[in-house]
């Protein structure tokens, strides 16, 4: 091989999964039409051609046994992690991938994600080697989501770089009687990181705005790093409660998913 040849970065998906949850204990193992949710997410990720590897990162033996049981790959991480990003960073280290490789965080509670979104979130890092991080946004259609703090809103500059994320409705329209109304965008929980930046990120002290909003991505902005936001046409269906499982199963039936 030519020693001057520069190896193209590969894209790796890591699915952080933990058993304990305040709203839904054991969520990754909850059955959706007979299959554990973590299996449905994993198998969905395997269908993405861009991905060189798919791995579940967990600290729970029950989840690990489930993943190995259906033939999936799993890495055991520390139970001390306070966030999924910390777990992601440890898993990326255990996988011994290159610093320029791209790590996509696929949420373990989104079993119906569109395969296209993985390419959408990873592509900016493949096209721009200087970019440390990217994430997805979606144009809000349902008005109630604008004022729902569980739906995080974002604003960005003309180059598609995030300016701020908030649980509040941003931008605030000072004179609502003056049309047009603002377009609101919500943040979707898909991230792509440069592997080397992941360790920089988790090594940074908690940010002030992060502490108030309880949004990790604000730490990145507060310390002066860039986040590329990519507008997608695909909304996400998250499973936060047992009731959400019923909604997902109904969608599965309509799509003919088995």
The predicted-structure confidence for 185-241, as pLDDT tens digits, reads as follows 999 989 999 999 999 999 999 999 999 999 999 999 999 999 999 999 998 788 888
Decide: 88 and 77 in contact? Cβ < 8 Å: no
Tell me the average pLDDT across 39-57. 95
Mean pLDDT for all residues in the chain = 91
Question: What is the DSSP pairing of strand 185-194 with strand 102-105?
Answer: antiparallel
Q: What is the model's pTM?
A: 0.91
Decide if pLDDT at 91 tops 90.
yes
Residues 6+ apart with CB under 8 A from 141: none
């490789």: which residue's tokens? 101
- Angstrom distance (rounded) from CA 244 to CA 142: 18
Decide if pLDDT at 3 tops 60.
no
Decide if pLDDT at 17 tops 80.
yes
The pLDDT-based confidence of 165 (bands split at 50, 70, 90) is very high
Two structure tokens written together for 34:
């007979």
Decide: 166 and 56 in contact? Cβ < 8 Å: no
- Angstrom distance (rounded) from CA 133 to CA 160: 12
Which residues are registered as beta bridge partners of 16?
A: 57
Decide if pLDDT at 247 tops 60.
yes
Decide: 41 and 29 in contact? Cβ < 8 Å: no
Decide if pLDDT at 4 tops 60.
no
The pLDDT-based confidence of 6 (bands split at 50, 70, 90) is low
The pLDDT-based confidence of 242 (bands split at 50, 70, 90) is confident
**Residue 195 DSSP SS3:** helix
CATH 2.40.50.140 matches 11-255: no
Decide: 141 and 133 in contact? Cβ < 8 Å: no
SS3 content of the chain, % helix, strand, coil (to 5): 30, 20, 45
- Angstrom distance (rounded) from CA 142 to CA 122: 27
């Amino acid at each position: 091989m030519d020693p001057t040849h520069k190896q193209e970065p590969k894209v790796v998906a890591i699915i952080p999964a933990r058993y304990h949850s305040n709203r839904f204990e054991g969520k990754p193992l909850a059955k959706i039409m007979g299959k554990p949710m973590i299996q449905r997410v994993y198998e969905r990720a395997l269908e993405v051609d861009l991905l060189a590897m798919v791995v579940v990162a967990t600290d729970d033996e029950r989840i690990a046994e489930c993943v190995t049981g259906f033939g999936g790959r799993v890495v055991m991480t520390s139970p001390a992690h306070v966030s999924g990003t910390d777990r992601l960073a440890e898993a990326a280290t255990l996988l011994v991938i290159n610093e320029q490789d791209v790590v996509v965080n696929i949420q373990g509670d989104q079993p119906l994600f569109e395969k296209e979104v993985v390419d959408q979130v990873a592509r900016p890092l493949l096209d721009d080697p200087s970019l440390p991080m990217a994430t997805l946004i979606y144009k809000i259609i349902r008005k109630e989501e604008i004022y729902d703090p569980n739906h995080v809103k974002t604003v960005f500059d003309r180059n598609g770089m995030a300016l701020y994320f908030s649980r509040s409705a941003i931008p605030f329209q000072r004179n609502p009687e003056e049309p047009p109304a603002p377009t609101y965008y919500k943040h979707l929980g898909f991230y792509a990181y440069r592997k080397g930046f992941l360790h920089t990120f988790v090594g940074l002290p908690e940010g002030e705005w992060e502490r108030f909003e309880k949004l990790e991505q604000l730490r990145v902005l507060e310390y002066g790093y860039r986040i590329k936001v990519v507008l997608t046409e695909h909304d996400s269906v998250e499973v936060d409660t047992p009731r959400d499982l019923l909604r997902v199963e109904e969608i599965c039936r309509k799509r003919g998913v088995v």
